[in-house]
Structure 1
């Protein structure tokens, strides 16, 4: 039994021995780098859904309808996540964490690269959006398996008392990937004409993912399997039907963890995805200005997410999560009308604050969700929770925002919708969620001896 599997409350803050430190560092790097690269792929698609796809893949529709169709393809990447959670998340409890994250990286990377090669509607007609949706579906399947398994990589090499910090590696990945994706698009849009960008420039971001995924794959293939999974496997405690067990024995944790995803996903969609539409069409900003604002907000998240995750190891993680969600529910009522004056400074400040509030939910999220499940079911339970929450949160959000804006032509209902999503998260974390139990972790570790 590896010593690092045993919780040691008295050792919090004490440096681990060198071998363990290297293992944690390698696992943290594998979790962070792979997730960042995967979210680069996802981010390049999300931004393109707002800027490129309505023109190139849905040209026969009205402007509003084209945006709805484009964001529908965005939503497919979320709707397919439960399939990834069922098919790949469960494998994390059966065959191991490492094998699953290698599969997810390959799946997402291949789908993204092929999108960069797709002919448009003007070339092959209706087949173009059909292929686009199919590839987006494949991206979502990969992410559905990634989200619940990646946090276990680094957290299962470290002491449970610091789970918030170690689990945040895949949480840093999305803003890092989004920073790369939006940076790439910003560079492309300012370095070429609009016609050139629509003709071929947008493809560069998708094709570049092949190099990035190759780097992430190299890191992940060198990773060892986690000590927790090895101990469960060697003891013969690996579940044969983990998904069924989660639904039959850990329903409360599944509901709490799923609710925890809804508010952060909708908040993220508002400030990163839908802001491209709202900022350009309602507030009069250029797409480059909004992309730069999102880049600045994503850069601040690289600092705030690990800070929030580390803080959640020192205070009550569940309550901290709920407080951040409560403030995030209020902020859209300030942000959406404020940027209508066309001030770029206000736009940047509003997105930075919005993504900062998102960070204080997202940073502790990996730890909070994994703690809702027993160790032998954590990959399946976490994957399902991430996927279910994302389906009702991130998948629907851009569609709902776009539909509400088209219907009302103004911002109040957008803010109300975002606030309701945060209310779901508050209810799930406070009423159903459970706190980390050091004694339960110790008993589990001792049972595997």
Structure 2
């Protein structure tokens, strides 16, 4: 993949109104998609071990339940490959609608599943199959939603725009925790009998809203421009994956750089929930803390995305990785107290200065590594590969490390800090950004065509 500017100003301008519409539709769709995906994260940490793995010991049941969580993450790169390929060939918008509908159907069906007491071993098998579909769906969702905002936004606002889309994730987390928390207020017998199903069934209505919003937006102007350029030149369609893999260094370094992002997120959102529950906090209290943490993260991601427009993506990402390494031990100690107030402080601290800066600039950071014709594939694959390792396996590793140390924190601290240092080193040696001279498609921004073969020049001010 060459560092050639293929984003000149032949495409039509995006109005401010259309940009707001795109951002809102992408944000709402991402919130719905991650509501579904993270509802499973919350339920696997607090509920599914009792419903689908009731024949195992409590610790083994928790590990088995979190392992099904990992399966969903493992399937995410497949979604990145499939939807990334067609997103680069056919367009971003259509892929976003397909992924959202896939997620909605699979989540609704999870809410209808029989438990292991009813059908035995078939129950976890069906759960795993639906989790795979969820993983494939979200694997294609992130890249498309982030790219729609990135490719419609002016150059100096791309971090803010993609930070807003990233905030759809914790918004979905807060909605999922709130829905599950309200259901958990009913008597425990009723909750584990049928109450836990309600938040999953609500997904059907939320998906309908998300699809409606996404049908209203226009296709990415940079994608349209790329298609027109190829038609004018008579270029044969290229394989997006090959364009990414023939110069793999940005992809590899992006994967390593984002490992800490998902590891620290897993430490908070999955492992942290289960650990707080084990320390004696009630289910409703834990979920309430998750809601507050999620809302904190929404604000933090948007602020971090905007900050990356001014200070650079790399600086904000490194800040988050350093903060995660520093705050891991206090986070565990606060939860270990078993006190509601201290646990809430722990979650707010990790979601605010750690998770927000790690996720807020990520959409713009990854999008700037790849040309328009392979951007959906490259950005999605780098993101989802890191999510598979850091998000899928980290919760199981964290539980196992704590069990190996009989409840101690030392092994977890070494693991978290090690991942943080690895990501910082990868970010430090990232190559110069590509496409930083891509011209804005917003009407009030300057538009000066560049020759199609002009090399990418100096970085924009404040960009890394």
Say whether the fold is shared (TM-score over 0.5): yes
Q: Residue 462 of structure 2 aligns with which residue?
A: none
State the secondary structure of the residue aligned to 1:48.
helix
Deviation at 1:112, TM superposition (A): 0.3
1:305 to 301, 304, 324: 301
Q: Aligned partners of 1:445 and 1:226: how far apart in 2?
A: 19
Would you say 1:212 and 2:206 are equivalent positions?
yes
Q: Residue 339 of structure 1 aligns with which residue?
A: 335
Deviation at 1:154, TM superposition (A): 1.4
2:83 to 83, 88, 103: 88
**Kindly tell me: are residues 443 and 381 of structure 1, through their superposed partners in 2, closer, same or farther at Cα, counting changes over 3 Å?**
farther
- In the TM superposition, what are the counterparts of 1:363-442 in structure 2 within 5 Å? 363-409=360-406, 410-435=408-433, 438-439=436-437
Would you say 1:360 and 2:357 are equivalent positions?
yes
8 A contact 2:8–2:452 mirrored in 1: no
Q: Aligned partners of 1:159 and 1:73: how far apart in 2?
A: 40
2:66 to 55, 62, 71: 71
8 A contact 1:263–1:422 mirrored in 2: yes
Deviation at 1:385, TM superposition (A): 0.5
Once the two structures are superposed, residues 266-324 of structure 1 have per-residue CA deviations (whole angstroms, 9 ceiling, x without a partner) of 1111111111211121x322222222212111111121111111111011221221122
Q: Residue 189 of structure 2 aligns with which residue?
A: 195
Q: Aligned partners of 1:80 and 1:443: how far apart in 2?
A: 42
Q: Aligned partners of 2:249 and 2:276: how far apart in 1?
A: 39
1:108 to 103, 110, 119: 103
Q: Residue 25 of structure 1 aligns with which residue?
A: 20
Deviation at 1:73, TM superposition (A): 0.6
2:260 to 263, 268, 273: 263
**Kindly tell me: are residues 285 and 369 of structure 1, through their superposed partners in 2, closer, same or farther at Cα, counting changes over 3 Å?**
same
Q: Residue 329 of structure 1 aligns with which residue?
A: 325
8 A contact 2:97–2:214 mirrored in 1: yes
Q: Aligned partners of 2:51 and 2:280: how far apart in 1?
A: 23
Q: Aligned partners of 2:103 and 2:236: how far apart in 1?
A: 27
Q: Aligned partners of 2:211 and 2:75: how far apart in 1?
A: 23
8 A contact 2:368–2:436 mirrored in 1: no
Q: Aligned partners of 2:333 and 2:380: how far apart in 1?
A: 36
Q: Aligned partners of 1:433 and 1:348: how far apart in 2?
A: 39
8 A contact 2:370–2:434 mirrored in 1: no
8 A contact 1:371–1:434 mirrored in 2: no
Counting helix residues as a fraction of each chain, which structure ranks higher? 1
TM-score normalized by structure 2? 0.89
8 A contact 1:275–1:290 mirrored in 2: no
Deviation at 1:170, TM superposition (A): 2.6
8 A contact 2:53–2:116 mirrored in 1: yes
8 A contact 1:34–1:220 mirrored in 2: yes
Greater CA drift, 321-330 or 337-346: 337-346
Deviation at 1:262, TM superposition (A): 1.2
Deviation at 1:114, TM superposition (A): 0.5
Q: Residue 313 of structure 2 aligns with which residue?
A: 317
- In the TM superposition, what are the counterparts of 1:19-58 in structure 2 within 5 Å? 20-58=15-53
Deviation at 1:247, TM superposition (A): 0.5
Q: Aligned partners of 2:419 and 2:226: how far apart in 1?
A: 37
Deviation at 1:446, TM superposition (A): 4.5
State the secondary structure of the residue aligned to 1:290.
helix
Once the two structures are superposed, residues 344-379 of structure 1 have per-residue CA deviations (whole angstroms, 9 ceiling, x without a partner) of 221111110101111011111111111111222110
Deviation at 1:445, TM superposition (A): 5.7
2:250 to 247, 253, 258: 253
8 A contact 1:94–1:238 mirrored in 2: no
State the secondary structure of the residue aligned to 1:305.
helix
Greater CA drift, 162-171 or 65-74: 162-171
Q: Aligned partners of 2:385 and 2:448: how far apart in 1?
A: 30
Greater CA drift, 162-171 or 67-76: 162-171
**Kindly tell me: are residues 299 and 150 of structure 1, through their superposed partners in 2, closer, same or farther at Cα, counting changes over 3 Å?**
same
Would you say 1:278 and 2:287 are equivalent positions?
no
Deviation at 1:334, TM superposition (A): 1.3
Q: Aligned partners of 1:444 and 1:113: how far apart in 2?
A: 48
Once the two structures are superposed, residues 207-239 of structure 1 have per-residue CA deviations (whole angstroms, 9 ceiling, x without a partner) of 000000000000111211110000001111684
State the secondary structure of the residue aligned to 2:167.
helix
Q: Residue 10 of structure 1 aligns with which residue?
A: none
**Kindly tell me: are residues 440 and 48 of structure 1, through their superposed partners in 2, closer, same or farther at Cα, counting changes over 3 Å?**
closer
**Kindly tell me: are residues 397 and 254 of structure 1, through their superposed partners in 2, closer, same or farther at Cα, counting changes over 3 Å?**
same
Q: Residue 11 of structure 1 aligns with which residue?
A: none
Which blocks of at least 5 consecutive residues in structure 1 are unaligned? 8-16
